[in-house]
Amino acid sequence: MSISLQKKDQIIGICLAVLSTMIWAGNYVISKGVSQLVGPISLAFFRWSLASLIIIPIAWSSFQKEKQFIKANLRYLFWVALLGITLFNTCIYISGHYTSAINMALIGTTSSPIFAILLAAIFLKEKINASRLIGLILCITGILILLSKGSFEKLLALRFGIGDLWILAAGFCFAVYSVLVRKKPSNISSLHFLMLIFTMGALMLFPFFLIENWIMPKPQFTPVLLGSIVYIGLGTSVVAYLCWNIALQKLGTSRTILFANLTPIFSTMEAVLILGEKFTSIHIISGSLVIGGLIIANLQSINTNKKNLISESTK
């Protein structure tokens, strides 16, 4: 029975991780699309302020029950909020002023799994087995093919600009965040956890939001910007983060972070559907490698479950 529940948990974790990446894919497009309408810190502040306003009324009624556990873990919550909320998406939005949306999606998603797997191996003692390593290599290969459009010459000619470095920093912050979430105290619910880190992250952004609006042009609140804020405040924040954190608990850091490689694939699909961009064979090859890498990376756990089920049935 316990093995069956474990397998069910893994399926749920995989579905939630995929859903998160589908929602997050739009974040890179929005970051680039509204870069001329709002400053990066302001966009991050609006996002997390809206997310906080949405989640606080939902979580507040039961918040008092966990108050003592929250007080005991304030230092941990501070670091999670700083890295996963204040810094991660702010780095993405800064990057949007200097590089393309496709570069942001590709560099962020190829760097995070590498950082996360190494950090999880060092601090959480998660093993890097052969199937996970092969899966990671396939995922990165697929992303690099998409980045270079299948040209080896273009791949060799790739150079990291300032925007690419900002998105690389974002990838590292997200990797550390993903590792820290695995250490979340079990007596703090996922809903209260998100409410706290969203609110703390927004409060940490507030003084920098004031400074940015003092030295830079004020945001232009067009329908496009307002719609974008709603999307990133509700979808990419409340819904996607809740799904991702549950997936991390069910699958572990090293496995869950691999699903982030689906983000540029979904970004391409969204570009085709929304912006009318051309879909080529390169996208098919790249997507196949990424999806194949994810399947291979999860093969060992699937086989382990099958062996356990057989073992249980023979007892």
Q: How many CA atoms lie within 13 A of 28 on its CB side?
A: 29
Number of domains present in the structure of the chain: 1
pLDDT of residue 267: 76
* Tens digit of each residue's pLDDT (9 = 90 or more) over 5-42: 677 888 888 899 999 988 988 887 788 778 888 999 99
Spatial separation of the C-alpha atoms in residues 313 and 210, rounded to whole Å: 63
Cα–Cα nearest to 217, from 14, 38, 9, 26? 38
Is the pLDDT confidence value at 135 over 90?
no
- Which residue range(s) make up the domain with 69? 2-313
* Tens digit of each residue's pLDDT (9 = 90 or more) over 277-300: 666 777 778 778 877 877 787 665
pLDDT of residue 203: 96
Average of per-residue pLDDT values in the chain: 80
Q: What is the mean pLDDT of residues 251-265?
A: 76
Cα–Cα nearest to 170, from 74, 106, 247? 106
When pLDDT is cut at 50, 70 and 90, the band that residue 52 belongs to is: very high
Q: What is the mean pLDDT of residues 148-162?
A: 71
